Amino acid sequence: MIAEVIVDVPAKQTDRPFDYVIPQSLETVIQIGMRVVVPFGPRKIQGFVIGIKPHSTLNKLKEIIEPLDLTPVLSESLISLGNWLSEETLSYRISAYQAMLPAALKAKYQKKLLVPKENKPLLPQTLQSLFANQESIMWEEAKETGYLSLLQQEVTKGHIQIIYEVKDKIKKKKRLAIRSALSIEDLKTYQSTLTQRAQKQHDVINYFIEHNDWIFLTDLTATLQISNAVVKELVKKEVLEESEREIYRDPYANRYFKRTEPLQLTNEQQEAIDPIHDRIAKSMHEVFLLYGVTGSGKTEVYLQSIQKVLERGQEAICLVPEIALTPQMVHRFKGRFGNQVAVMHSGLSAGEKYDEWRKVQRGEVKVVVGARSAVFAPFENLGLIIIDEEHETSYKQEENPKYHSKDVAIKRGKQGSFPIILGSATPSLESFARAKKGVYTLLSLPKRMNNQDLPHVDIVDMREELRSGNRSMFSSSLLEKLQVRIERKQQTVLFLNKRGYSSFVMCRDCGYVVNCPNCDISLTYHRHQQQMKCHYCGFEDHVPTVCPECQSDHIRYFGTGTQKVEEELHKVLPEARVIRMDVDTTSKKGSHERLLNEFQKGHADILLGTQMIAKGLDFPNITLVGVLSADTMLHLPDFRSSEKTFQLLTQVSGRAGRHQLPGEVVIQTYSPEHYSIQLAAEQNYDQFYEREMMIRKGLKYSPFYFITLITVSHEQLMKALDVTEKITTFLTSRLTKSAVCLGPVASPIPRINNRYRYQCLIKYKREPELNQSLKQILDQYQQEVTSTSLKISVDVNPFILM
Ligand SMILES: Nc1ncnc2c1ncn2[C@@H]1O[C@H](COP(=O)(O)OP(=O)(O)OP(=O)(O)O)[C@@H](O)[C@H]1O
Ligand SMILES: [Zn+2]
Ligand SMILES: [Zn+2]
């Protein structure tokens, strides 16, 4: 038999299947979707088997050396999705396949076959002796045995597991784990012999009466607040047993989620969900845009749609922006669907991600909640994909393949014939326009669940505050309202908009700003290290004590960090209890959740934070939201900056007054007249939409025009400019008259890491030839890109224009 293999050499010449002979010994092993090692020129490299056929038209084929998997890592539908992805994003097929898999399946991890003790008796005799004195063997050893096909059968049955370990961390990964050595009956009997005084032992026994599985010793002692000695004692008495183990690294394991029942839907929710249920029942593809104001009960619609899918024996994916993948959100899914849910997000280690992925692949879970790349979850019988906060730009991947999760979801929905739900209180202009044209089906939830009005919003002009002598970062109106909340024991969320805004170091006398020597951008001041850093190239330096330009010593940092706000708060409201949430306070694992828990329990009056508190919070006692700096994003060189400002302000405001107590919002700004701030204050999406659409039409931007951005960079300015010029000329000759080709122009950040950057922006309505022309450009320069420092990036539908 012959295997068609896509090899791991990302280049134009190798971006097609190569034929390899499957050696006799591997004929029963090799399947489509597995990774294999093949000879390629003088080297041995990895590849994906994407087809198997009886004959090849070519002679003198080489043989596959060995398989890297015993079960396929890509299904045939994912392979075809990968092929589509590579076409759409102009990337190589190998990059597309790799983007769909967890990082643990890449080279620097090593592979083992593991047989849990209880499975050993289930293995055939030959394999039993192989695992006689060990619970796992290395993959390299396994290959030598000649039993690959036998091993494969046991892997398929689930008796043998394949695990990946980071090579240099192997020792750390194995940890001491504990489980009960007795049956529940015997545990109870043993417990009855314990004295009343042995409370700790009672706790341990109770734990194992309820949990019949391994738990790491450290987790057990932490959960029960006991010492190691208590456990060791019970191990000695053979009530418990211990073992060095690899356990599913489930970050939510051993956590109790309160079970929730479906709520009785309101009429509005029912009307929204009916067509969704109908398409699910009919296995019909359709894209729904669920446009519901903040707190209108969208999540309940998601949950009950998923429930419908599960009842039919199908699976569902719910995408959530990374930043909104809060413990609260996870609770809502785990609470409803229990351990049928896997969670995938960037906070997990590579091993944890692989474990969650494997649960999906082995059919052990039915629902995935996750960030962008969870759209590739390897379900085989999908019935629904939901994209919550569909307007979020984090759904776009900025590296190759530069895909957008929304496009991938819709493609999967077409392939598998199932509906897609895009949900948002502030839909992207693109999606709303499509809904208006009837490409998507619009479903609306115009009212809040509590039937309360949306919170009242006050816009405060900070220039006025200055004029009237208030130099503090809190307007008098916000300060007054803060005081009232503290008296009434209600809670406040204070939001500092950091995006597009950073603390920089400037001389007050001559205006000199400290820039990065390698990039054309100012250095960012980091308060806790007293350092300045470049966010693009990593350059670091001390803050100068005198201005390099004018020798004045009035050189200091500008801008407002959360720490500074916290200090100010303590000065003006000494009695206020503040929880600060930012990159610094949430860097430790689990701290995000701990801080939110404390706030929820009422241990603080004010939650102060950045983007990470803008979404998803649903706490009854929040009655005030303050936005300290509403306009920082407005001045970015990005045609979406008004849209992003509107969306963010609407989202933050939506945190107030979601339950019984009515809410209030204060927005502080230096541009109070800007329409995106005015209309966010009125929560008037429809008018914002009309207004912004007019502007986009005038400027020929999305959604009226498609956009593709080509960025060229090189160490030599002239070279970057020259190549961009040639590309622009070539494209102009290939495009129709209705297209606009803007270039070559210097990028908004003209130099990063000593590389000069030029760009060409294409705006177009319909250019069937464009894809082909872009490929031609990439092909043309491929040689130069691999052998010199020239870089060319093509971004179809870009979200970052810098
Ligand atoms: N049918 C229902 N009956 C009673 N309560 C409900 C119902 N549906 C939702 N809720 C409650 O209403 C509140 C708001 O709902 P939810 O958080 O789902 O809104 P949302 O539209 O997803 O909000 P946001 O976009 O602001 O995150 C929640 O506390 C939720 O439990
Ligand atoms: Zn100066
Ligand atoms: Zn730099």
pLDDT in tens, 710-731: 999 999 999 999 999 999 999 9
Does residue 250 have a pLDDT over 60? Answer: no
Element at 740 (helix H, strand E) = strand 740-752
Does residue 414 have a pLDDT over 50? Answer: yes
Q: Backbone phi, then psi, for 373, in 5-degree steps?
A: -75, -5
Whole-number Å distance between alpha carbons of 85 and 401: 8
Please give all residues whose CB falls under 5 A of ion ligand 2, grouped by chain where several chains appear.
507, 509-510, 512, 547, 549-550, 552
Does residue 449 have a pLDDT over 60? Answer: yes
567: alpha, beta or left? (left if phi > 0; alpha if psi -120 to 50): alpha
For the chain, give the mean pLDDT.
87
Q: Please give the distance, rounded to the nearest whole angstrom, from the Cα atom of residue 724 to the centre of ligand 1.
A: 50
Cα dihedral sign, 84-85-87-88:
positive
| Mutation pick for ligand 1 pocket among 299, 451, 615 (CB with most ligand atoms within 8 Å) | 299
Whole-number Å distance between alpha carbons of 304 and 280: 12
pLDDT in tens, 660-716: 788 899 999 888 999 999 999 988 999 999 999 999 999 899 999 999 999 999 999
Torsion of CA 577, 580, 586, 589, to 10 degrees: 10
Percent of the chain's residues with pLDDT above 90:
47
254: alpha, beta or left? (left if phi > 0; alpha if psi -120 to 50): left
Does residue 440 have a pLDDT over 80? Answer: yes
pLDDT band at residue 53, thresholds of 50, 70 and 90? very high
Contact 179, 116 (CB under 8 A): no
Residue of 103, 364, 102, 771 whose CA lies nearest to 779: 771
Which of 189-193, 264-268, 348-352, 489-493 is predicted with the least confidence, judged by mean pLDDT?
348-352
- Reduced to 3 states, what is the DSSP secondary structure of residue 291? strand
373 lines ligand 1 (CB under 6 A): no
299 lines ligand 1 (CB under 6 A): yes
Q: Which of ligand 1's atoms lies nearest the C-alpha of 264?
A: 1
- Reduced to 3 states, what is the DSSP secondary structure of residue 688? helix
pLDDT score recorded for residue 172: 38
pLDDT band at residue 616, thresholds of 50, 70 and 90? low
Tokens 């209890």 sit on residue: 577
DSSP at 471 = -
Residue with the bigger pLDDT between 303 and 294: it is 303
Element at 508 (helix H, strand E) = none
Any binding-site annotation on 550? Answer: yes
316: alpha, beta or left? (left if phi > 0; alpha if psi -120 to 50): beta
Complex ipTM value: 0.95
Residue of 695, 694, 666 whose CA lies nearest to 681: 666
Q: What is the mean pLDDT of residues 31-60?
A: 91
Q: What is the mean pLDDT of residues 484-498?
A: 90
Whole-number Å distance between alpha carbons of 74 and 97: 8
Q: Please give the distance, rounded to the nearest whole angstrom, from the Cα atom of residue 502 to the centre of ligand 2.
A: 20
Half-sphere exposure of 634 (CA within 13 A, CB side): 15
Q: What is the mean pLDDT of residues 131-143?
A: 79
Q: What is the mean pLDDT of residues 417-429?
A: 96
Look at ligand 1, atom 11, and give the residue with the nearest C-alpha: 297
Residue of 218, 109, 113, 197 whose CA lies nearest to 156: 113
Any binding-site annotation on 516? Answer: yes
582 lines ligand 1 (CB under 6 A): no
Look at ligand 1, atom 30, and give the residue with the nearest C-alpha: 297
Which of 417-421, 627-631, 787-791 is predicted with the least confidence, judged by mean pLDDT?
627-631
Percent of the chain's residues with pLDDT above 70:
94
Q: Please give the distance, rounded to the nearest whole angstrom, from the Cα atom of residue 540 to the centre of ligand 3.
A: 9
- Of all ligands present, the nearest one to the C-alpha of 336 is 1
Torsion of CA 429, 432, 436, 441, to 10 degrees: 160
> How many angstroms separate the first and last alpha carbons of the chain?
50
Residue with the bigger pLDDT between 321 and 511: it is 321
425 lines ligand 1 (CB under 6 A): yes
Any binding-site annotation on 318? Answer: no
Tokens 């009005």 sit on residue: 453
Name residue 373's amino acid: S
Q: What is the mean pLDDT of residues 456-478?
A: 90
Q: Please give the distance, rounded to the nearest whole angstrom, from the Cα atom of residue 72 to the centre of ligand 2.
A: 63
Question: Rounded to whole angstroms, what are the CA distances from 411 to 213, 301, 462, 798?
Answer: 40, 23, 47, 19
Q: Please give the distance, rounded to the nearest whole angstrom, from the Cα atom of residue 541 to the centre of ligand 2.
A: 18
Vertex 348 angle, CA 347 and 350, to 5°: 130
Q: Please give the distance, rounded to the nearest whole angstrom, from the Cα atom of residue 525 to the centre of ligand 3.
A: 13
Look at ligand 1, atom 23, and give the residue with the nearest C-alpha: 295
Does residue 582 have a pLDDT over 60? Answer: yes
pLDDT band at residue 124, thresholds of 50, 70 and 90? confident
Contact 47, 36 (CB under 8 A): yes
- Reduced to 3 states, what is the DSSP secondary structure of residue 58? coil
Does residue 174 have a pLDDT over 80? Answer: no
- Of all ligands present, the nearest one to the C-alpha of 389 is 1
